[in-house]
Structure 1
Amino acid sequence: MTTMTFDAERVERTDKAVALLAAPGTTRILNELLDFGPLLRHQQGSPFPEFGSRRVQYYFTSLRQRGLVEVQLVDDLPAFVASEAAVDLGDVYDALNSWAKAHLPHTAELPYVARVHETLMLLGEPFTVPILAALANGPVCSEIVELLIRPCVHSVTARAAVAEHLPRLATRGLIDRADQDLDTITLTEAGRALLTPLAAIDSWGAEHAHIPVGEQRRAVIPAMAHAILPSPARQWRTR
């Protein structure tokens, strides 16, 4: 994304991939399978006491439907395993983790999986991906941002999306609107750095275009690392 001209189709695909990866339970469960390998089906709830059995079942069903988790026989017993597409998320997760370590100081003591999830939650806020992509090639005015993201907004006007969400992105420290007179908007250092994990998600989405993605836009909600923290009994990476 850092070197491309604005491509609405590509941006929308990346935005939907972000929504897919930011879905509840996804980061937590996939990292469990990637770190520890197959999980016997009858033991699916044991590593996730924070979710509850019904929610765990729902998450695994959803992940299987989206092609991120498969069921295979392990010692003649059915077990959940990460699919090839999920395994390929390793570089994506590492990029998300690196950005959080550099730009989200409050995540310093959190496990790897929590930092990844926090970054995904930030990217998953409405219109964050299209606006960042619109600014990827340098400072522009708000009217240009509106023009670029227009094909990526559906339920609201581009002007309304920009008016509502530029202040939020400034509060998040991702954009700078210091020159109000010229209406010039530019990415901050953190915003520019966030293009790296976005590019990784873009590449992953292009390589795994068969993975179904949702159409629903996300509501703006705060990141909730506590909701996906691993059980204390598990020895998680703190990379």
Structure 2
Amino acid sequence: MIATKLIKFHEEFVRQEALYMLQNALEGSGGSAATSAYTEAFRLIMQFAVDADVLEDPVSSVRDAEALGSLLALGMNPDAQVQPRGKGPFPPAKKLEGGLPRHLALPFTKASGTRSKDVRVGITLSWVFFLQAIRLKYLHPDSELQNYAIQVMDMLRADTSACVLYILRVGVTNQMTEPTQRSFLVFLGQQLMSPDASPSMKIAGLRTVSYTLKTLGEVPAEFKEVLDNTVVAAVSHSSQLVSSRFRI
């Protein structure tokens, strides 16, 4: 309730402090914050950002995107929160379930209207902040990042490829060590050959493969066979869009 009141202030520093207070309150809950508390926090951030149209403001966009991504990462890592003192037993930490589909993937795919671009850009930044928090703050192994890549590519539509590519490059590939990038290439190749992959997913996958190869500076031996199969599949794909984009 306090954060809701403060975030309506015109002064930028007051709104920023409101978001910090909200995150600190959840972080200090000792892993026992109710799911409804996170849901209300996400609703507050998204409603204020969309209603006030602040996603068009670069400073506000980054601030709100960071808050959303950070809170999602916090909710999925309750054991890393401040633990209660004194004698137990204490209730088990509650992990936020379904946060990514509900608060990042679904709003991204449903964004429409005149402000849809601003909303998608804001959620794109939230994805990156979430992935960076998972890796840098909560120290998840970089091998887990490829699991999130599938969720990101599932959001693809024809007009959102740039946002998805940004997440895959900055949030996933750039945070991987060289050995993990090698494994990621094989993983992407397998996804490209999957019959369930849409043309848009194949395009994003191929461009991510190209970016990762440039980052590595070589074609790993374990990827060569997969690369041959991927090239053949892409060039011979029935979708002219996939074939033409691959040749480019």
Superposition TM-score tier, normalisation by shorter sequence: under 0.3
Give the TM-score normalised by structure 2: 0.22
Indicate the structure with greater helix content. 2
Greater share of residues in strand: 1
Q: Of the two structures, which has the highest relative contact order with CA contacts closer than 8 Å and spacing of 6 or more?
A: 1
Which structure would you say has the larger Rg? 2
TM-score, structure 1 normalization: 0.23
